[in-house]
Amino acid sequence: KKQTVLINHRTLRWIVASISAIGLTYVAAAEDTSPSPLTLATTVPTAPVVAPEESEPLPAPLPAKDVEVQTEVSEVNEASPTEKTEKERPLQKLLDKPLLVAPKQLLDELFETESAIQLDDDPSSGPQVAQDTATGSEEPNKAVDTVEATSDDDEPTTVPGVTVEGHRPAFDPVLGSGTIFGSLEGAFDAGGSGAYLELGPLKSKAYDNPNRILNNVPGVYLREEDGFGNFPNISLRGADMGRSAKITLMEDGILVAPAPYSAPSAYSFPTIGRMSAVEVFKGSSQIQFGPHSTGGAINFLSTPIPDRKTIYMNFLFGTNNEMRMHTWLGNTMETPDGGRVGWLIEGYFRETDGFRKIGGINYPIQNGQDTGFTKQEPMFKMFWEPGDVDTYQRFEVKTGYTSFQANEGYVGQTMADFNADPYARYSGTRFDNMQTHGARNYLRWIIGDQEVDWMTIAQTVYYNKFHRDWYKLNKIYDGDLASMGTSYGISNVLGDPLGNAAGYGVLNGTQAGVLGVKHNNRDYYSWGYQGVMNLAMQGSKWDHDIQLGLRFNADRIRRFQRQDFYETNSVGGVSGFDAGTWGAAGDRRQTTKATAFWAMDRMSRGKWTLTPGIRVEKMDMRYQRFATENTPQDKTGSLTMTSGGLGLTYKKTENLSFLASINRGVSPPDPKKLTSGLSEEEVIASEFGWRYTNPDRAVVGQLLYFYSHFNDLIVLDNVGSGADPESNEQVGSLYANGLEFTLQYDRGIDKNLDFNNPLFVSATYTDAALLTDTLSHNSESIFAGGQAGARVPYIPEFTITFGAGWHFEKSGFDITGTYCDATYTTASNETFVDGVSTDARYGTTTAYFIWDMSVYYMFNENWKIFGGAQNIFNEKYVITRHPYGPRTGAPAFVYVGVEALY
């Protein structure tokens, strides 16, 4: 009966959300006003706990029983994205076809202009692989586009035409509205290696997992935790991947990590399901980015504002009661003075029951009867380009909100339990629940058009706020609330369940004991100013594209935590509860104020292009620990870092070019470790190779060799430990070198067939090992016990992703395969801690080979149905052993959806 109520409740929520989205047009037309906010539904989170100085009351202690949070339907304001196109870039042509008759009148009333937008009827997926990737053509066998050279002496670079999904942005990205490469050809011509991935053509593949998307980029290593991609761990060319802390993450060119200096490992990552494109920067292409440049940079591009009235809707239903909705509407209109105003409102919603189940007795789970999650993200964007001005100007505003609730924790399984059922969870994890909410805001002023005025200045002020309370199992005790008894580390219990039988019994609900469940309650803030000037200058021998940048950033993390204790009986029921003291499990503040300056010059002469650059950054940090946790501390420190490099390209022929670069990257420690004596991490990285493009044959390829030498590597010193899960240490030196290969080919274009047949492959071979014995003596560290010559944890020797597509006038089919080698999960390259005690985090992952397939059919110019399956052979594999023991990737996922664009 209870389950039936839950199903009806979910169904009602989804119906309300769907009807609200579809009804936007009709409500707006009837009332002749702006559309009402998109109504989405989610579990309402409990009120966040804040530190005393934030002056909000603390919540009442949890009751001494299983806690269930009530849910209700809530209304969320939508938001919106932006961009302009007077002149279309060759690789970003969009369609202009008639609208269906039925909704045209209503749309014209709403937008007061005429419509000519439709779905792309031939999205090519194969070549969405790397910076020099073709993505099919607008129509089968469409002619190849030509990209203008950067100087009069240059020969043009040619890249096969690209299909862009459905709508035209209102702004040319080359003017700087948050993009860096701006296009596929922009990445292709960069002085260092990188990638530009259009995400529109991948909608039919239902890839809302960033790991699935980034598998298409060589030199990117990925470690999942939950199987959905909510907590990705990303490494570029050998950098430590822990919580993606060594990657400079951006959205629309603005730092998006909650506190990128003070706490970059915050378990917060942009939702790729609402993005329009992703830019990945490696080698010298990342010179201008920071503060973390040892691991590269990734820039996510949100949905651009269309240049005409447009409504987009995408609904998906899948296994495990998965439901997704992505919808937006926007328009760009001319103003009386000859200028333009554009806006976009967007809503994204995703919900699933999850694929893991609580084993043993059917225990109720906090916040619902599932192990899944709910995410909703409204966004609003707007721009204004005044017409009565001598110099081009553009004003932008963007605001977005994210609410995320997941019944997820850290705990994996013993290997025996994993082999029996990799999708089971222990009863002791039933209180695990993460609740987060965050806001992203910026105001941007752009003046000048570099192609007309020789100069563009983009100035942005931004403010981001993020709160999370991850309530999860932290410790196990074999006593009761009066006498706690022996304490057990979870990873030790899972590594040796026989030697820790009492702890294992408490964990799986067969023995009386106590569960220590901690509120990992934190608030993050980040705000600042960023100014970027681009200059185009022609010299007597060299042409120059110069970029000068300045950024002031301040960020802070405030940790205010407590640990609760649940006494359980021999059948897993809760018989007692003791609320902890707020602050006793963590009462700290870390603050950083940083000033960064960078300069780059893209110098072109004939077939040669040189790109030197330098970045200097000064940081003032402060670490405070308050008396509630331990002896008070208040320490300050400063650090100045310098990074830079040089990129070179030589265009040997019209089809073949040579690339080489060298750069120094850096990554700072957090305030706690800086004030304890740690210095910055350093990498000296180099690369060279060849790029090939033959538009007549629809072939694009690249082969690169890279070498990275890391010094004073900074890592989390106790990944998965309950002591201090975000503290750092320096462990020594390591190297990573290897080959990156990409190749894309469209047989349909080459052979003049009446359909597209894109084929692609992206492969990476890597040799990554320690150069010195690690300096870590903490058995909790992922690098503990590592000796010179040992392989770097979680860096596979070989990975490959490949696929093929067949795209006809109204239908299409794609298949993709991904293989990844097994890896060691710690630097000791052993299954034991110091060769003595077992620990579930020590050992290896398993090699895996998974297949995805997708199909679609166009009903007409505006409606498309799609479906498919991911991991179609239901491969079971150990994807990670951190934080607490082995966990599997997602099982087979089957879905069907519908997409509409007007």
Lowest mean pLDDT among 191-195, 256-260, 424-428, 859-863: 191-195
Residue-level pLDDT at 854: 98
**Tokens 């939702």 label which residue?**
271
Residue-level pLDDT at 832: 75
Q: What is the pLDDT of residues 217-276, one digit of tens each?
A: 999 999 999 999 999 999 999 988 888 999 999 999 999 999 999 999 888 999 999 999
Q: What is the mean pLDDT of residues 595-618?
A: 96
**One-character DSSP codes across 806-838:** EE-SSEEEEEEEEEE---BSSTT-SSEETTTEE
Residue 183 confidence (pLDDT) above 70: no
Q: What is the pLDDT of residues 724-748, one digit of tens each?
A: 545 567 889 999 999 999 999 999 9
Residue 148 confidence (pLDDT) above 50: no
Q: Which long-range contacts (CB under 8 A, 24 or more apart) does 534-539 make?
A: 534/176, 534/450, 534/455, 534/456, 534/457, 534/458, 535/450, 535/454, 535/455, 536/450, 536/451, 536/454, 536/455, 537/454, 538/151
Indicate the SS3 state at residue 16: helix
Residue 188 — pLDDT band, cuts 50, 70, 90? low
Q: Position 810: which residue type?
A: K
Instruction: Tokens for 725, please give them.
Output: 């899960």
Residue 352 confidence (pLDDT) above 60: yes
* Selected residue with higher pLDDT from 284 and 17: 284
Tally the C-alpha atoms within 13 A of residue 186's C-alpha that lie toward its C-beta: 21
* β-sheet bridge partners, residue 711: 682
**28 in any annotated domain:** no
- Name the strand (E) or helix (H) holding 505: helix 501-508
Tally the C-alpha atoms within 13 A of residue 794's C-alpha that lie toward its C-beta: 29
Count of positions (residues) in the chain:
902
Residue-level pLDDT at 751: 95
**Tokens 């196990």 label which residue?**
476
Task: Count other Cβ atoms within 10 Å, centred on residue 384.
Answer: 16
Q: What is the pLDDT of residues 822-855, one digit of tens each?
A: 999 999 998 877 666 688 999 999 999 999 999 9
Q: How far apart are CA 403 and CA 815, in angstroms?
A: 33
**305 in any annotated domain:** yes
CB distance 524 to 556 below 8 Å:
yes
Q: What is the mean pLDDT of residues 693-722?
A: 83
Q: Residue 46, Cα to own-chain centre: how many angstroms? A: 26
Q: How far apart are CA 85 and CA 355, in angstroms?
A: 43
Q: Which of 384, 394, 402, 299 is nearest to 346 (CA)?
A: 402
Instruction: Tokens for 576, please give them.
Output: 């007692």
Residue-level pLDDT at 717: 56
**Three-state helix/strand/coil letters over 180-225:** CCCCHHHHHCCCCCEEEEECHHHHHHCCCCHHHHHCCCCCEEEECC
Residue 79 — pLDDT band, cuts 50, 70, 90? very low
- Residues 6+ positions from 460 with CB-CB distance below 8 Å: 253, 254, 442, 443, 444, 445, 529, 530, 531
Q: How far apart are CA 420 and CA 750, in angstroms?
A: 50
* Selected residue with higher pLDDT from 443 and 64: 443
Share of the chain above pLDDT 70, in %: 76
**362 in any annotated domain:** yes
**297 in any annotated domain:** yes
Indicate the SS3 state at residue 698: coil
Residue-level pLDDT at 385: 95
Q: What is the mean pLDDT of residues 681-693?
A: 95
Task: Count other Cβ atoms within 10 Å, centred on residue 548.
Answer: 16
What separation in angstroms does the CA of 284 have from each of 154, 295, 598, 654, 864?
A: 22, 12, 13, 24, 41
Residue 53 — pLDDT band, cuts 50, 70, 90? low
Exposure of 793 by Cβ count < 10 A (0-12 exposed, 13-18 middle, 19+ buried)? buried
- Check: pTM over 0.75? Answer yes or no: yes
Where in the sequence is the domain holding 273, given as residue range(s)? Answer: 52-901
Task: Count other Cβ atoms within 10 Å, centred on residue 677.
Answer: 9
Tell me the Cα Rg of the chain: 27
**Three-state helix/strand/coil letters over 244-274:** HCCCEEEECCEECCCECCCECCCCCCCCHHH
> Residue 401: which CATH number?
2.40.170.20
Q: What is the mean pLDDT of residues 617-637?
A: 96
Q: What is the pLDDT of residues 315-330, one digit of tens each?
A: 999 999 999 999 999 9
Q: How far apart are CA 818 and CA 850, in angstroms?
A: 5
**6 in any annotated domain:** no
Q: Which of 231, 496, 207 is nearest to 324 (CA)?
A: 207
Residue-level pLDDT at 74: 35
Residue-level pLDDT at 452: 80
Q: How far apart are CA 883 and CA 876, in angstroms?
A: 19
Lowest mean pLDDT among 59-68, 610-619, 628-637, 804-813: 59-68
Q: How far apart are CA 509 and CA 360, in angstroms?
A: 8
Lowest mean pLDDT among 82-91, 343-352, 415-424, 537-546: 82-91
Q: What is the mean pLDDT of residues 552-575?
A: 95
Residue 132 is given by DSSP the state: T
* Selected residue with higher pLDDT from 107 and 48: 48
**Tokens 């987060």 label which residue?**
436
Residue 791 — pLDDT band, cuts 50, 70, 90? very high
Vertex 471 angle, CA 468 and 477, to 5°: 150
- Residues 6+ positions from 636 with CB-CB distance below 8 Å: 620, 621, 622, 623, 675
E strand map for 76-184? 145-147, 157-159
Q: Which of 560, 578, 723 is nearest to 628 (CA)?
A: 560
* 3-state helix, strand and coil shares in percent for the chain, rounded to the nearest 5: 10, 45, 45
Residue 35 confidence (pLDDT) above 60: no
Residue-level pLDDT at 179: 67
Q: How far apart are CA 429 and CA 427, in angstroms?
A: 5
Domain count, the chain: 1
Instruction: Tokens for 692, please give them.
Output: 């090939």
Residue-level pLDDT at 52: 57
**44 in any annotated domain:** no
Share of the chain above pLDDT 90, in %: 68
Residue 124 confidence (pLDDT) above 80: no
**430 in any annotated domain:** yes
Instruction: Tokens for 802, please give them.
Output: 């490949």
